Every structure is written in structure tokens, then in C-alpha cells.
Structure 1
Amino acid sequence: MQSTKEKYGENLQVETLAIHGGEFVDPETQASSPNLVMSSTFVPRELTGFSALDEDESAGYIYTRSGNPTVRQLEEKLCALEGSEDARCFASGIAASHALIMGRLSSGDHAIFPENNYAGTAEFLRDSLPRFGIEVSFADTTSLEAVSAAIRPETKMLWLETPCNPTLQLADIRQLASCAHGKGVRDIVVDSTFATPIGTHPIELGADFVVHSLTKYIGGHGDAMGGVVLGRKADLDALNLEATVHFGGVMSPFNAWLIMRGAATLPIRMRAHQEQAMAVAKWLEKNPAIKRVYYPGLPSHPQHDLACQQMNNFSGMIAFQTHEDGEKIASRMIEKLEHVHFAVSLGHHRSLIYWIGTEDILKSTFRHTGQAEERFHELMGKGVFRLSVGLEHAEDICSDLDRCF
């Protein structure tokens, strides 16, 4: 399979790849925009077996669960942006994570995950994965020593999330991937949803797989759910049969079409997200109501130097603590916010904010003990507000928030 550079040219810039990656002029209609192909079944070019086990790429598309031309165009666009050999899209970000975890790990394997990561992943790991005989350890992925100490002979996967949700800690991908590969770990996975392909290229830093929730920045408009796994073609071909055909969490072609349209503007949107987020973060740092601000682009972030080395864009995600009780402020936000929406999710063109209480999340999601719980309390205090800065003007975002403090 051609590499991104071979297919699209050595010198194409990311703005061009975002628009033209995976796209082509329709040879029949000369349509400039990508087609939306909603058919669930296709007439094969040649005789092929009834089972997906017998499908051959040369026969063309057979059934949308195993492959669809609109979804494939999105996959090729994401490959162009991420610099990967191949990609497989799924119905949601957690469907993509589930597909990769269950498609690569077996009973008796061991995997290492961050102490702090996306709640849906954390709950799946703690509540579901043990039933399948797969053992999981949680490590402080900001520490090379902690990750190295957690690796065992049976460790098959190291999962990193950077920046992580919701504390915005970073993992040094290059350093941790080198260490883990050197100790025999097969798969280094990076959930790069917060960073996007505009901010970080994990594969260039040594990762084997990259995961994105396409519902967030890449789709960008809060109107379509999706997820993707990117990596080597051989690995994803093997994953496709089990995770796509057998698990069945496939993406709707309509969602793929919407996300592809959003991805075309990702580079310019991420520049605007970063610009507005930096202005809001600086305003928050000066606001007497605010106790602490976490934003990788601020010099006050404890890993700001790593962010400058590893990220080309600091994204639009901010976490902050307040002096006043967060629940009281959150109640006022529900009543008073006019432009910023008090709602879950992130990465949309509109700003979103949500209160994440420490005790609630310790009970439901992370369940840390010992030093891990102490680290979590140090980071979170009694809780944090997670703010996804949208594309509104920073002055309007700040004015809206200020009415609630």
C-alpha cells in the first residue's frame, strides 16, 4: 500500500490533505464533492464466498458491515492527516477503543493503561475486561519509571492518552514507546482525541496505533458520532475481520459523510480553537475566582516543555478549579450561561463546559487507592470544570463564564 507521501506528494501541506485526502471527482457524474453511498449491499465484480472470511478486495464492496465506499473515503482522508498506512472507522470512539482492545488482546495477556483517561474507556477496563481473562494495570503515564516498572513479560499493550481527559496531563510518546518496545511490548496505542492529527502525530513518535473519537474535533460540529483506529495495514486487515465484521460496531455512511465534511476544515478550526483557548486560559489565570488552570499552552502547565516538543497545536481543552464550591457554580451555569453550553462532549464549534466532581469520579470511574489517589486529589482538588473552547470570540466566552463566578 502506498504511504501518504507517495499517494499525495511529498510537499502537500496539511490544509490541502484535509480537503483532498480520500476524495476524487466521480468518474460517472463529475461530482466534485464526495458521494454519500447508503447501500447496505453491493454487486461484486467477481464470484466470492458467502462468508466474510472468504471476501477478497479484488471483488470490490460486498456488504457495508465489512466495507463501504463513503466510509472508505473518510478512512483515507484520516490516513492522509495522521500519516498512517491504513484506518478503520467505527460507530463511536468507544467502539473503536473496544475493537482495538478486544481485537488485539487475549486471555492471559496484560495491558497497561493510564491512571487518568477517558471515563468510558476506564469503566470498560474495570467493569468488563476482567471477565475475559485480560489483566490490566493502571500506571502514572507521566512517569517513565512508573510505566517501565509496570511492564511484565506478558504485557502486550501500552495505552497512552495525551492530553488525558480530564486533567490534561501529557505522556511523552517517544520516550514511553521506546521503553515499552525495548521491553517487548507489542502494541503502543495513543488516544489522540484531544490533540487531533493537527496537534500530534503519534506514529511518527513510535506508536503502533492511534485512536480518535471522531465525534469530537475531527467531526467538529457535534452532529455525528464515530471513532477510528489508525496503524499498519496488515494489523488493521486482521482487525477488520474480527472487530468490524464480528463485533459489528460499524459506522453509518451518513455519519462518515458528515465527519468527512468536518475534517476538511480541521486545520483552520484547530488554529482558531487554540487561539481562543489561549486567550480564555490567560483570562482564567488572572480571574480571582479561579484557583488553578490546566492548559498545555500555558507556561504554568507542569509539562509545558513537553507540550512544546510534542504538540504543534495545543488544542482547545482547558480544565480549571475554582475557590468556590464547583457544584454551586455549575448550578448557576445551567441557569445563566447564554453562549457556552453546560453539556458533555467536546471539540465542537460551540463552547461546552461541564463540572467533574472528584468524589463522584473516584467512586464511579477511577477508583484509585494509595499514592494514585493522592496524585488524583492533588490534580483535581474537589473537582474541575472541563471547558471545550469553541469558535466563538474569546471575549464573549469569558463574559459568559464571568456571570457565573
Structure 2
Amino acid sequence: MAEKLAPATLALHAGETERRPGAPVTASPQLAASFFTHPDAIGFSANDLAENAPHFYTRWSNPTADSLERTLAALEGGEAAVSFASGMAAVSALFLDRLAAGDHLLLSDVCYAGVAELAQDILPRHGIAATLVDTADPAAVEAALRPNTRLVHVETPANPILKLTDIAAVAAIAHAGGAELSVDSTIATPFGTRPLALGADYVVHSLTKYISGHGDALGGAVIGGAARMAALRRQGLIHLGGALAPFNAWLSLRGLETLAPRMALHEANARRLEAFLAEHPKVRSVLWPGSPRHPQHALARRQMRNFSGLLAFSARSGSGALAARLAERLRVISYAVSLGKTKSLLFYIPTDDLLRASFRLRGAQEAAYRDWAGEGVFRFSAGLEDADDLIADLAQALG
């Protein structure tokens, strides 16, 4: 597919196979687990997997997943991609592929809770040390680097407080220290940020969120250089086994077809909601990268082309009681976990719980998180409903 095409066009056409009479305009999912082969075509061991090997078994590769991977690579400007059964499967495979006993991982101190817990609870069992650092501060990243740091992993915008990391600055620091940089760009999507163009070595997505977009499919992906992705396929995918189901790959492909217009509407609705919440007497603060009120708005404007549809707000007081009130009174917005769906979702994340169970921050890092989040944040994934209806629903529920 020609690189000169715009991202919205690539999202629809980058994964297409050769056009010929009788070929479907919209590809159907190929669900087969096994494919015709020949003794000369492929070895029985994944360690012998050669470049451009034919499909053999769906845990190794699949035509539907292949189409999805080609589309994601095109959108991110990468050479190749590998798809996984979930975003956590993608992150876990990348970490275990790039890190070994004796290595050190630097990780955003605000990130998806499951990733923070993986780094602190599971990686040390394999002899891999992990340090959570404020990656919004390049100087802190540089100070935290060790001679054995092999990977720096950042999430930007970071879940749940939408804190940003300057990808280009951190990439330069990581590379100068002999480390690689991976970026979880789930919230930004390829229409918001292209981390590879800013110097990252890998981009990670939870396809479950905006890319699938309908709340009906789990999935994950890593995008990067062809050689690194081939190695990740052999070890992180085939041997760890977190293969993406072909039907879920097709659902993500379907989601990609509408990602451009969906992200435009998600962003537009988030802009309206942020303006409403910022003036509400019960709201302490609102965090959304597209707003001039966001403390890193200048970086957002420089690094993001779309500010996404996720925002967070905190209450002046009584956050727990307000969460219960919203869960009971919301009629259009759903009180539910996750983000990036067609329907609006809101969920309360108490600061004490997140710091205790997942982030485990102390001292200045804890104080910085509390400064952003207060007692807790109401993570609000703005959906595709009419903005006036969303505002009216919030108004009546907040009281």
C-alpha cells in the first residue's frame, strides 16, 4: 500500500490483499487453525521460522491477523507488527523478549495498573529489576538509568490521569544509555501520536480500546522493526502462546475502518465535557490533554494530532459518595470499567487503592500523584453520543 496515502485511507485499505475479480471488498475472517503445507515450505519448530513463511498454524500466524498487523504497521509507520490476545499479553511478551535475568526496566510511574503490577510482582521473580519513574521529567529518567537498563517503557497519555511523556526527549536519553524505548500509545491511538517517528523502538496498543472501539473484542499488538518483530513472533507469541483469535482480529479490523471519524468525534465530545466539568462547583479539577488547563498542554499540542476521548476529573470532596451517586443516577453514561468504546463509560479510581495495590509510590512521587488525582479520579471515556445528552446526564447525576 502506497505510503503517500493519508492515515484515514490506510486504516481502510492497508491490510488488503491483491485486488482481483471475485475478491471480497470486505474480507471475511479466516478462522482455520491449520493450513495446507509442504515438507519444503516450513519447519516444524518455530525456531526455524523463516521470513515470508506460509501460514502453518494459527498460533504462529493467520491471514486475518496478518491483515490486521499490516494495517497497524502502516498506520504507525513501522516495518511490521505482531498481534496478541490482549494488551497485557502484548506488553508481557515484549518485556520477556527484550529483558533477561540481570536486566533493568524503567517504567512510567503512572501507567496501566496491570503493567505496573507485572513489573513489580512478576518480573523480579525472573531476576529482572524494575523502577517506576516520573517519565514526564526527562531528567528523572536520565538519573534513573543504570548500566544494565535495557528497556524504558512509557505510557502517554498515562492511565488514569492523562499525564504525558515527551517521547522524543526520552527516546534520546534511553538510546544514549544503551536502552530501547517502548511506548504504550493505546489512549492516543495512531491518529493521535506516532511514537516511532519520535524515536521509539516499539509501540504497544491494547486493541481492546479505541482500535476495536465497540467493546466486543480483546486484543493487543506491538509494532516495530521487521527483525525485532520476527524475533518477538518466534518467542513472545509462538512460545508464550498469547495468540489473537482470528475473529477478534477481524473485529479489530472492522474497528479500524471507522477509527478516523470515531476519534474526531471522541475528541469533540471530550472537549465539550471538559469545558462543562471545569465550571461545575463539585469538580476540583479536570485533566484532558486537549485543554489549555492541562499542565502539559504545550507538549500535547506538539506531540499529538488528536487529543483522544479520555478525560479524568476529581471532586472537591466526598468522592466515594459521589461515585455511588453517579453509578445509581447516570442514564446515558454507563458506570463501567474500560475505555475507548462507542458508548460513554465512567469509573471511579480511588487514589489510596491505586497507590497501595498497583503503583506503590512513596515520597515525592506519591505527593505528585495526589496533586494530580486528589482523593481519586473519575475516569471518563467520552463515547459517540450527542454531547448535549452527555452533558445533561452528567448535570442531573452530579446534582
Verify same fold: TM over 0.5: yes
Instruction: Look up the SS of the partner of 1:373 in the other structure.
Output: helix
User: 1:218 matched to which residue of 2?
Assistant: 211
Measure the CA separation in 2 of the matches of 1:330 and 1:98.
32
Q: Given residue 281 of structure 1, which amino acid in structure 2 is its aligned partner? A: E
User: 1:270 matched to which residue of 2?
Assistant: 263
Q: Given residue 35 of structure 1, which amino acid in structure 2 is its aligned partner? A: S
User: 1:403 matched to which residue of 2?
Assistant: 396
2:46 equivalent among 47, 52, 77: 52
User: 1:208 matched to which residue of 2?
Assistant: 201
Q: Given residue 215 of structure 1, which amino acid in structure 2 is its aligned partner? A: T
Computed over aligned residues only, the root mean square deviation of the Cα atoms, in angstroms, reads 1.2
User: 2:85 matched to which residue of 1?
Assistant: 91
Shift of 1:126: 1.2
User: 2:253 matched to which residue of 1?
Assistant: 260
Q: Does 1:356 align with 2:349?
A: yes
Contact 2:212–2:254 at 8 Å: present in 1 too? Answer: yes
Aligned pairs for 1:193-204 within 5 A: 193-204=186-197
Aligned pair in 2 of structure 1 residues 54, 27: CA closer, same or farther (>3 Å)? farther
1:109 equivalent among 103, 107, 122: 103
Aligned pairs for 1:6-405 within 5 A: 7-10=1-4, 12-24=5-17, 27=20, 29-45=22-38, 47=40, 48-185=42-179, 187-405=180-398
Measure the CA separation in 1 of the matches of 2:370 and 2:320.
17
TM-score by length of 1: 0.96
Q: Given residue 190 of structure 1, which amino acid in structure 2 is its aligned partner? A: V
Shift of 1:184: 1.6
Contact 1:15–1:267 at 8 Å: present in 2 too? Answer: yes
Q: Given residue 327 of structure 1, which amino acid in structure 2 is its aligned partner? A: G
Q: Given residue 367 of structure 1, which amino acid in structure 2 is its aligned partner? A: R
Q: Given residue 200 of structure 1, which amino acid in structure 2 is its aligned partner? A: T
Q: Given residue 125 of structure 1, which amino acid in structure 2 is its aligned partner? A: A
Shift of 1:25: 5.7
Measure the CA separation in 1 of the matches of 2:264 and 2:240.
37
Deviates more, 1:288-297 or 1:203-212: 288-297
Q: Given residue 353 of structure 1, which amino acid in structure 2 is its aligned partner? A: L
> Structure 2 stretches of 5 or more lacking a match?
none
Shift of 1:28: 7.5
Aligned pair in 2 of structure 1 residues 257, 325: CA closer, same or farther (>3 Å)? same
Instruction: Look up the SS of the partner of 1:237 in the other structure.
Output: helix
Shift of 1:58: 5.0
Measure the CA separation in 1 of the matches of 2:320 and 2:17.
50
Aligned pair in 2 of structure 1 residues 248, 166: CA closer, same or farther (>3 Å)? same
Measure the CA separation in 2 of the matches of 1:54 and 1:133.
28
Shift of 1:26: 6.4
Contact 1:277–1:389 at 8 Å: present in 2 too? Answer: yes
Instruction: Look up the SS of the partner of 2:191 in the other structure.
Output: helix
Count of residue correspondences: 397
The percent of aligned pairs where both chains have the same amino acid is: 45
TM-score by length of 2: 0.97
Shift of 1:324: 3.3
Shift of 1:211: 0.1
Contact 2:49–2:234 at 8 Å: present in 1 too? Answer: no
Give deviations 1:148-194, integer Å, cap 9, x for gaps: 00011111001110000001110000011112211221x10000001
Instruction: Look up the SS of the partner of 2:301 in the other structure.
Output: helix
Q: Given residue 341 of structure 2, which amino acid in structure 1 is its aligned partner? A: H
Give deviations 1:365-405, integer Å, cap 9, x for gaps: 11111111111111111111000000111111111112222
Measure the CA separation in 2 of the matches of 1:26 and 1:292.
52
Measure the CA separation in 2 of the matches of 1:190 and 1:56.
28
Q: Given residue 2 of structure 2, which amino acid in structure 1 is its aligned partner? A: Y
